[in-house]
Structure 1
Amino acid sequence: MMQASLTAQELADACADSMWREDNASRHLGMAIERVAPGVAVVSMLIKPEMTNGHGTCHGGYIFTLADSAFAFACNSYNQRAVAQHCSITYIAPAFAGDRLTATAREVSRRGRGAIYDINIINQNGEHVAEFRGHSRTVKGTHLPDQA
């Protein structure tokens, strides 16, 4: 299928598929892509006992990684390679072993080479766990070959 003939949704799906094949970290941690669309991604992950810290809660680095993966799939949904330029997270409530966390990334602004994404992380009960904001920057290259 030629890239020029893809709809925006098909392009987002194809970019996610291309990235997923090479995303060893997200796959190794058991993440699942629930949905992608232009500027949007929903990624989930089950918190395993080995992901907890000395307080018995999910280590913040795993929550950050989940949010960062959702951010990556959202900002790379246009077939232009994009990387994180700056990220911040605010932890709101703890997560525990056995929780399924879901990170929903939504584009806030996209201009030139820069974009801003807000990522909301909730648990299986819909409880707010964290908020992440990511600033992306496009770099050279695409995910799909230009066949047009």
Structure 2
Amino acid sequence: MTPQDRATRSAAAMWSDDGASKWLGMTLVSVDEGTAVMTLTVEKHHCNGHGMCHGGITFSLADSTFAFACNSRNQATVAASNHITYTAPARLGDTLTATAREVSLTGRSGIYDVRVSNQNDETIAEMRGLSRSIKGHLFEE
């Protein structure tokens, strides 16, 4: 099985049970070994009292994308820690794209960077996620 095939099958297994990402309106665009891309269009129910996309929604998009990237090798993996920095507001109607890439994978620990941008390729947030693999796989090989 190629790394791309494994990543695709891992993502399909995760997506089938990912009620949260679906409920929030996310779309999984692509996945490969150590990488993932997801999108979300900001709707009224995603906005806070300032009329901007709630930071928790932006974080959720980044976190879900991180999850698909760090589980792309069919090894069950969870977040150990995440840190996000918001650089600009997202607004109603914006299409947000989160792109996760693996920075380091050593033993059971990984480091991933996730950039969230809008439809004009303006950076909305940057997240660094630390992962830890656990027992189990997403599908039988």
Shorter-chain TM-score bucket reads over 0.9
Is 1:124 aligned with 2:119?
yes
Report runs of 4+ in structure 1 exceeding 2 Å deviation.
Answer: none
- Amino acid in structure 2 at the alignment position of 1:75: C
For 1:108 and 1:33, locate their aligned partners in 2 and report how far apart those are by CA, in whole Å: 21
**Kindly, what percent of the aligned residue pairs are identical?**
52
Deviation per residue, 1:16-57 (Å, 9 max, x gap): 000000000001111111110000000000111111111110
Unaligned residue ranges in structure 2 (runs of 5+): none
Q: Secondary structure at the match of 1:90?
A: strand
- Amino acid in structure 2 at the alignment position of 1:78: R
1:128, distance to aligned residue in structure 2 (A): 0.7
Unaligned residue ranges in structure 1 (runs of 5+): 1-5
RMSD between superposed Cα atoms in Å: 0.5
Is 1:93 aligned with 2:99?
no
Is 1:74 aligned with 2:72?
no
- Amino acid in structure 2 at the alignment position of 1:100: T
Q: TM-score, normalised by structure 1?
A: 0.94
Q: Secondary structure at the match of 2:16?
A: helix
1:73, distance to aligned residue in structure 2 (A): 0.1
Q: Secondary structure at the match of 2:111?
A: strand
Q: Secondary structure at the match of 2:49?
A: coil
For 2:47 and 2:131, locate their aligned partners in 1 and report how far apart those are by CA, in whole Å: 29
Aligned partner of 2:36 among 41, 47, 51: 41
For 1:109 and 1:50, locate their aligned partners in 2 and report how far apart those are by CA, in whole Å: 36
Q: Secondary structure at the match of 1:64?
A: helix
Paired residues in the alignment total 141
Q: TM-score, normalised by structure 2?
A: 0.99
Q: Secondary structure at the match of 1:105?
A: strand
Is 1:105 aligned with 2:72?
no
Name the larger-Rg structure: 1
Aligned partner of 1:17 among 4, 8, 12: 12
